[in-house]
Every structure is written in structure tokens, then in C-alpha cells.
Structure 1
Amino acid sequence: MGRNIFNQPPKNADQPAAPSPAPVKSTKLPGSVGGLRDSLREITANSIRDIEPDRIDMDGLRDRLILEDESIDELAESILKHGQQVPIMVRPSDQPDRYRIVYGRRRLAAIRKTGGTVKAIVRTLDDDASLIAQGQENNLRLDPSFIEKSLFIKEMQEAGYKPGVIQDALGLTRQGVSNHRVVIEQLPEELVRLIGPAHGVGRRQWSNLATLSSKVPVFDIARETLNGLPEATSSADKFQAVYAACSSKTRRASNMSGGRKTTAVKDESGRPVGHLSVDGKSIAIKIIRKDNPEFGNWLEERAESTLRQLFEQWQDERGSGS
């Protein structure tokens, strides 16, 4: 019965017999094996591997201002004690048996200090996907400071990444990206790297410092200020010290050259004659007609000639002769 079911003769004797199973199997096998091989490669590509740290290149855009600092030593000590709890992510390099870091730069730096292999997820990603993975993972694990995000945005834009990719990488809206970019474009990059990440210092404070940068040499002031601080001063405290020094310098400069001083000029009897206003850019004589209308009319007729006479008198007193 079973044989009759599986070995039915052709219904039409003139019709050629159906192909035997063997050729069908032989034609489909390579494709099936190839698909299985691809699946295994994908599983392997997404698995966690132990990789020698010197086979991983620290390329790509940096999203941290400080990498080699005491926090790396603390992380290395924790890994020695508890092991590496969270894998990093890498992607294959163009060079054989080498990888490029996607995220986990601090963990990789710590393991390079402790020795041994690093646990890594290997993913085949293009540049856009790699950047998005880097930004999102860092936002989840240790939120970058405002100024670190600003520098990261600047580097992404200079590298030619599209606005949508930048927004996805940091989880920001278009306006949020713009807010960061406006600040970083006004500040010298050397100043930012001198201060550091300044966690806890937000957009408003950095914006205020950016405004001061158009009035005083903020980098020179920062360098002088930070040279006088203890070595262990935190980055946030460095920012506050620099901001205070720049604000003070701006006020002094304003008082010396930009502050307007107005003096009321009166005659011997105390009646108002006019007002003299002086600042760093101009000297102005103001006559209020309602206080002394006749004098105002008289001065209006003679203002140009009087000003020329005063100028000639000044030249004579300087001894210029012309």
C-alpha cells in the first residue's frame, strides 16, 4: 500500500516520467548549504567573541573629551575584580583579522591596561549604522555632556554625515542639533578641550560663555585661570572658574572703554546748559531745546565752525602745525 502511494505510474503513457528526486536534490543542495552557511555567518557575526585588544583599531569619531583619565583606572580595577560585564561592539576592518571600534572605547582602554582579551560583539555595519549605534549606546550608558555632544555634532557634520543620521545618533530633534551647533561654532575648540566635558553644565551656561568670547580673549583667560587651579579640579569647576574670570574681565573692559558716562553741564547759577556723554566709542554734546531754546538755536548755527576751531586749537596745542 505504501509503495503504491509513493510510486504512482504516470497517468499518460506518452507523458515522460517525472524527474527522479536525485537530480532535484543535487541542484538545490548548493543553494541550501549556501543559505545555511550565510545564516551561520550571521549568527557568528552577532555573537560575543574574545578578541585581542591590539586587533581593534580606535578609529571613527570620538564622542568623549576625556578618555585617558582616572576613570579609566577605576574601570580597569573594576574589570579586574568582577570581569568585563558588558561587551563592546566592533565591526570588521578592511584589513584581515582586524576590527574597528563602534562603541565601548573606555572599556577597551581599560582592558588594554589590565591585559587579556576583550569581549566584543562583531557586527557588519556601514558608517551610518555604526555612528547611530555608537551615539545611542553612549546615550544609554553614560549620557555625554552638552559640550561633548556639541563637539560630536561638529565632527559628524565635518565628516559629511546627513542631518537625519546625526539626529538619530544622539536622539535629538533638528532644533536640538541646531542649539548645540550654534554654541560650538562660537567657541574655540582649544578652549573646550582645555575645560573638558563639564558634566552638569548646560546649554545656557555654555551659551553665556560663547557670548563673552566675542568681547574678551576667552582662551587666554582660561589658560591663565586654569594654571592657578589645583590639578584635581573637576571639569565642571574649571568651567565655573573660567566663566567667572571671563565675566570679570568683560566688566572691567566695559568700565574702561565701553561704559557710557553722562554729565549734566550747568552755568554759574546752576541752570542746565546741556549734557556731555562719553564712552569708549564717542563723545556727544546734547542740548535740550526746552531747557535753553535760544542757546540751542545759536549753537546750531555755529556748531560746525566751532567744532573746526576746537580741532585746530587741538592741533596747535599738539604742535602739529597743520
Structure 2
Amino acid sequence: MSKSIRHLMARPAPDQAVGSASSTESTTSPPLPAGNPPSPRRTGAARSFGAAWQAQEQARAAADAERDGSVVELDPGLCDPSAIADRVPDTTDAAFDAFVEQIRDEGQRSPALVRPKPGEPGRYEIAYGRRRHRAARILGRPLRAIVRPLSDTELVIAQGSENLARADLSYIERAHFAQNMVRAGVTRDVIAKAMGLQTTHLSSLLSVAEAIPASVLAVIGPAPRIGRPNWLTLADRIKSATPERIDSALASPDLSGKSSNERFAVVLAGLAAAPKVAKRAKAETLKDAKGLKFARVERSTSGVRVTTDEANEPGFGDYLAARLPEILAAYRASKA
């Protein structure tokens, strides 16, 4: 969590009642973090360290918020996800089921961060804590949250700061998140800083996101173990496949009951180039005036094959073979 976000969470709540007109006004955006953004190629150890540090910082900020009374309980039905989606839905996500059970048993440990929703008094927009919000709705419990009048830029930075430290956010979800921010009109420099990316890596993420249609992403899901090279391979196959073939791959019965990573493999295999089937030679049966078969002629791109019928015309094959030089000479003479 960046220093600016800790400041957002720790500052006192505004005096105005939540949902009043003043509570929906945009605040001045905090200065974006200075210096070079972290390298996108973080190791698993670095991601784990970042996630642990993020959790520690959130816990500290949440404790401060608890002390100053700024954590409130909200009806989850009044809270809407951010317009910029950062998660790809996956109905087979067993980790989320475990997350719900943990909240059922232990309660919601850390609050979400929301802002009064602009233009809709009494409603809220989630900066982060979308899974906590979803769990609260499933369990029929209020959502514990910190309410702050965030500007659009502050909302994006807060959302991106949490995403940066998530160990479970897949490559395609990061690409999907970046693409959604672009579509929402967020400038690329703000996106890069919010996600801790260099401009070149952001361009790479966006190119992959643009190459994967929404219909394909909806079937596959987040695919947490699938990295950039495999997504690029899938993108290439999508470009060269017909719409009918893509639809067929997405409707494959092999997708049923599979995890998101396995569904990726099924779709990728379904769009693999079909092996070329060698064309069978065209065959023609030759008959004499009485209707007896005396030879079979097969034509292909590589030549002509003549097979004599020794049963109906014994010795004809030897006769033909002996006269091939004579026949060739006559053929050449005809072309002169």
C-alpha cells in the first residue's frame, strides 16, 4: 500500500453526513508516487513479500481507522463495485469458497475502502474489497468499510495499489484491469503508476488484453497459472481461426467440470492448427469394348499410376512396360 493510500485511509472522515451532496465531491488527487516504478518481473518470493507487507500495512491502517471510529457497517446492497473491473469471474474458484467460510467463522478482518457514489446519494462505490463485499452478500452480513470521498484518480490509485501486492491476481486479470482503466478514460501514466508498471510493460499487457475477446475470457476465467507466453499463443490462434471454429472451441464438452487453468488448455488445443489430410489420388477404371477391366489409372499432383488387371488381361502389364520408351518417343514427337 502506497504512502498516499495510507494517508487516505487514516485521515478523519468528513463532517458531512454520508450521502449528502458535499460528500460526493471530488477531492484533490494526491501526488503520484515519485521515482521509478518497480520492475514488472517480480519473483514469487518478491510477490509473497509484497503481499505480506501489504497485509501488514492494511492491518495497521485498519487498526488506526477502528480507533478513530471511521470503520462503519454498510448494507452490501448499497455498495457497487468500481466501474473498472479488476477480477475475471470464475464460478469454480474454490479459494473464494474458503474465503467465505473464513469470514463466516472469524468475521471480516480488514475493512473495504469505499467512496460515496457520485450522482447517487446513499450509495457507495468500492475502491477495493470486492471479494469481501461479495462474501458479505452471500452471508447476509453488513460490509465493514472505511468511507472516504475519493476522486476518480484516488479511486484508481487505491484500487491499483491493492492489486499490485496481490499474489493471486493472474496475468490476464492484470491485463484486463489495465484495459478497463483505459476504456474508462484513465491516462496511461496514471495507470502505470497505479499498477507499478513501466510504460513498455503496460503496452504489453494492453496488447494481450485487446487480443483476447470477452467471450473467450468469460469461458476460460482468470487462469492463475497461465503466463504471458501462453496467452500470446492463444491470441495468435484466435487471429487465424474462423468465428465458427472459435465458437466450437468455446462450446467443447471437455470444458465441463474443469478448473480455469484446465479450461485454458482445452480452448488452446481446440484452436490448434488441424493436421493437413493428404488428398487421395483420383482413380479411373479402364474397360475394353466388352466391358472387361484391363487397367486402373490413379492421378495425383505427383504423377499418374497405371495398374494393369492381370486376371482379365494376363501379360498386358509386361507388354505395356516394354513399350514405354516407344510411347514416350511418340509423345515427344507429337509435341514437336
Same fold (TM over 0.5): yes
2:177 aligns with 152
- How far apart are the structure 2 equivalents of 1:59 and 1:77? 24
Aligned-partner residue type, residue 99 of structure 2: L
Does 2:64 align with 1:54?
A: no
Distance 1:188 1:39 in 2: 43
1:186 maps to a residue whose letter is A
Over alpha carbons, which structure has the higher Rg?
1
Q: Which one has more relative contact order, counting CA pairs under 8 Å at least 6 apart? A: 2
Alignment equivalent of 1:183, drawn from 208, 211, 224: 208
Q: 2:246 aligns with which of 191, 196, 219?
A: 219
Report how far residue 199 of structure 1 moved.
Answer: 0.5
| Letter matched to residue 204 of structure 1 | P
Q: 1:88 to 1:203 in 2, by over 3 A?
A: same
8 Å contact from structure 1 (residues 145, 200) kept in 2: yes
Once the 2 structures are TM-superposed, how far is the Cα of residue 71 of structure 1 from its aligned partner? 4.1
CA shift, 1:58, in A, is 2.5
Aligned to 1:86: 110
Shift of 1:240: 1.1
Q: 1:40 to 1:60 in 2, by over 3 A?
A: closer
Distance in 1 (CA, whole Å) between partners of 2:83 and 2:166 is 19
Residue 228 (1) aligns with residue 239 (2): no
Secondary structure at 2:137 match in 1:
helix
Which of 75, 78, 83 aligns to 2:99? It is 75
**Aligned pair in 2 of structure 1 residues 125, 202: CA closer, same or farther (>3 Å)?**
same
What is the TM-score with the length of structure 1 in the denominator? 0.61
Deviation at 1:149, TM superposition (A): 1.5
**TM-score, normalised with respect to structure 2:** 0.59
Give 1:103's match in structure 2, choosing from 128, 145, 152: 128
Spell out, residue by residue over 1:72-122, the C-alpha distance to the aligned partner (whole angstroms, 9 max, x if none). Answer: 433222111011111111011233333211111111010111122211111
Partner residue of 1:237? Answer: 262
Aligned counterpart in structure 1 of residue 193 of structure 2, from 168, 172, 185:
168
5+ residue gaps, structure 1 = 1-37, 258-262, 266-305, 307-322
1:9 aligns to what? none
Distance 1:169 1:157, change over 3 A: same
Inter-CA distance 109–255: structure 2 relative to 1 (3 Å threshold):
same
If each structure's helix is expressed as a fraction of its own residues, which one has the higher value?
1
Partner of 2:88: helix, strand, or coil? coil
> Bigger shift: 212-221 or 76-85?
212-221
Q: Distance in 2 between matches of 1:40 and 1:208?
A: 49
- Alpha-carbon deviations, 1:256-309, whole Å to 9, x = none? 79xxxxx888xxxxxxxxxxxxxxxxxxxxxxxxxxxxxxxxxxxxxxxx9xxx
CA–CA distance in structure 2, aligned partners of residues 120 and 55 of structure 1: 12
Shift of 1:191: 0.8
Structure 2 stretches lacking a partner, 5+ long: 1-10, 16-63, 280-300, 304-334
CA RMSD of superposed structures (Å): 3.0
| 3-state secondary structure, aligned to 1:119 | strand
Distance 1:158 1:111 in 2: 29
1:126–1:115 CA distance, 2 compared to 1 (3 A): same
Q: 2:259, 2:210 → 1: CA distance?
A: 24
d(CA) in 2 for partners of 1:224, 1:41: 52
Code of the residue aligned with 2:255 in structure 1: it is L
In the alignment, the residues of structure 1 paired with residue 13 and residue 140 of structure 2 have an alpha-carbon distance, to the nearest angstrom, of 30
* Pairing 1:154-303 to 2, within 5 Å after superposition: 154-217=179-242, 219-225=246-252, 227-231=253-257, 233-247=258-272, 250-252=273-275
> Alpha-carbon deviation of 1:67?
6.2
- Answer yes or no: is the 8 Å Cα contact 2:112–2:132 preserved in 1: yes
